[in-house]
C-alpha cells in the first residue's frame, strides 16, 4: 500500500469542510440571515437610501480607479521583477508583500501622514492644486496600496514560466515590442491578469482600516460603504448594518463569478491556440 504524507480523503475533506464551515460559511450565513429578517420593503429602503447609494458610488468608483492603476503599475512591477536584475531587487520584491503584513490601520495612518497638506508627498501635490488626504483621491490611494500585491503576485509566476523564445520568435518575424506584447504575451497573461484584477477589486471594495484615516469620512462625499455599515453597528442597528454589508457581499460574489467565467474562457482559448 502506498504511503501518503497527508491524511486520506475522508479526514482531509472533513477537516477542510469544518474549516470552511466555521471560518467562512458561518459568518456569511449569519450576515445573510440578519439581512433576511428585514422585509423586502425595509431592505430596499435601507440599501437604496440616498446616503447608501452615495457610499456605493464612492466605494465602487474608487475601487475601479485603484484597480485600473494597479493593473498597469502592478503589471509593470511584475515585469521588472521577473525580467531584470538590479541592486535591491530582493528588497523591492519583499516590499510588494508589505500591505499583506502591515495592519491596515497602520497603513492608513502612514498614508495620511505622507499625503496630508504638510506631508512629504501631500505638500508638493497641494501646492499644485491636488489635495489627497480627506478627498476621494485619498480613498483611491489607500485602496491601491492595499490591493497592489494581488495583481503582482498573480502575474509574476506566470511571467516566470513564459518561455523567452516566444518573444525572440516574434522579434525574428519583425514584430514591434507592442505587437509582441499584445499578440503573444497578453493572451497568455490574460487569465492571471483577470484573477488579479478581480481579487484587487474585491479587496478594495471591502477595505476599511486604511481608508477611514485618509478619507475624511464625509457623508455623500468621502464615506465608503464599509464605514456606513460600521456606523449602523455603532447605532445598534444590526439589521441595517447587515443589509448594507450584504450589498458589498453580493457585488464581490458577482464580480468574482464573472471574472472566473471569463478567466476559464481565456484559459480554454489559450490552450486551443
Q: Is the pLDDT of residue 269 over 80?
A: no
Q: Output the pLDDT for position 147.
A: 93
Q: Is residue 8 part of a domain?
A: no
Q: What is the CATH number of the domain that holds 263?
A: 1.10.3720.10
Q: Is the pLDDT of residue 30 over 90?
A: no
Going by pLDDT thresholds of 50, 70 and 90, the confidence category of residue 226 is very high
CA–CA distances in Å: residue 127 to residues 115, 139, 216:
12, 20, 20
Q: Is residue 199 part of a domain?
A: yes
CA angle at 93 for the pair 90 and 97, rounded to the nearest 5°:
135
CB contact at 8 A, 125 and 45? no
CB contact at 8 A, 270 and 190? yes
Q: Is residue 5 part of a domain?
A: no
Summarize pLDDT for 166-197 with one digit per residue, the tens: 777 777 777 677 777 777 788 888 888 888 99
Going by pLDDT thresholds of 50, 70 and 90, the confidence category of residue 8 is low
Share of the chain above pLDDT 70, in %: 94
The residue among 116, 117, 115, 111 whose CA lies nearest residue 146 is: 111
The residue among 112, 73, 62 whose CA lies nearest residue 96 is: 73
Which range, of 7-11, 66-70, 94-98, 154-158, averages the lowest pLDDT?
7-11
Question: For residues 261 and 42, which has the higher predicted lDDT (pLDDT)?
Answer: 42
Q: Is residue 25 part of a domain?
A: no
* Average of per-residue pLDDT values in the chain: 87
Going by pLDDT thresholds of 50, 70 and 90, the confidence category of residue 270 is low
Q: Output the pLDDT for position 164.
A: 72
When pLDDT is averaged across residues 12-24 and rounded to a whole number, the result is 79
- For 176, the domain range is 39-272
Q: Is residue 241 part of a domain?
A: yes
Q: Is residue 71 part of a domain?
A: yes
Q: How many domains does the chain have?
A: 1
Q: Is residue 137 part of a domain?
A: yes
State the Cα–Cα distance between residues 270 and 219, nearest whole angstrom. Answer: 46
Q: Is residue 229 part of a domain?
A: yes
Q: Output the pLDDT for position 272.
A: 65
pTM for the model stands at 0.86
When pLDDT is averaged across residues 36-42 and rounded to a whole number, the result is 88
Q: Is the pLDDT of residue 144 over 90?
A: yes
Q: Output the pLDDT for position 214.
A: 93
Which residue reads 476599511 in cell numbers?
208
Amino acid at each position: 500500500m502506498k504511503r501518503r504524507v497527508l491524511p486520506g480523503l475522508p479526514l482531509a475533506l472533513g477537516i477542510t469542510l469544518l474549516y470552511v464551515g466555521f471560518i467562512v460559511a458561518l459568518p456569511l450565513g449569519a450576515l445573510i440571515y440578519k439581512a433576511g429578517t428585514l422585509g423586502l420593503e425595509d431592505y430596499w429602503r435601507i440599501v437604496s437610501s440616498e446616503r447608501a447609494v452615495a457610499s456605493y458610488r464612492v466605494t465602487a468608483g474608487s475601487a475601479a480607479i485603484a484597480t485600473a492603476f494597479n493593473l498597469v503599475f502592478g503589471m509593470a512591477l511584475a515585469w521588472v521583477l521577473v525580467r531584470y536584475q538590479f541592486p535591491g531587487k530582493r528588497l523591492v520584491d519583499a516590499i510588494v508583500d508589505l500591505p499583506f503584513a502591515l495592519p491596515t490601520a497602520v497603513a492608513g495612518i502612514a498614508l495620511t501622514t505622507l499625503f496630508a497638506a504638510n506631508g512629504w508627498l501631500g505638500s508638493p501635490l497641494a501646492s499644485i492644486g491636488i489635495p489627497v488626504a480627506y478627498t476621494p483621491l485619498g480613498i483611491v490611494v489607500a485602496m491601491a496600496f492595499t490591493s497592489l500585491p494581488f495583481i503582482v503576485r498573480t502575474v509574476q509566476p506566470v511571467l516566470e514560466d513564459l518561455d523567452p523564445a516566444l518573444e525572440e520568435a516574434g522579434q525574428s518575424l519583425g514584430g514591434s515590442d507592442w505587437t509582441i506584447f499584445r499578440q503573444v504575451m497578453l493572451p497568455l497573461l490574460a487569465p492571471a491578469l483577470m484573477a488579479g484584477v478581480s481579487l484587487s477589486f474585491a479587496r478594495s471594495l471591502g477595505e476599511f482600516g486604511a481608508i477611514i484615516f485618509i478619507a475624511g469620512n464625509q457623508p455623500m462625499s468621502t464615506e465608503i460603504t464599509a464605514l456606513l455599515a460600521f456606523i449602523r453597528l455603532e447605532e445598534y442597528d444590526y439589521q441595517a448594518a447587515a443589509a448594507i454589508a450584504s450589498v458589498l457581499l453580493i457585488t464581490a460574489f458577482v464580480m468574482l463569478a464573472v471574472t472566473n467565467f471569463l478567466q476559464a474562457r481565456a484559459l480554454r482559448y489559450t490552450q486551443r491556440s
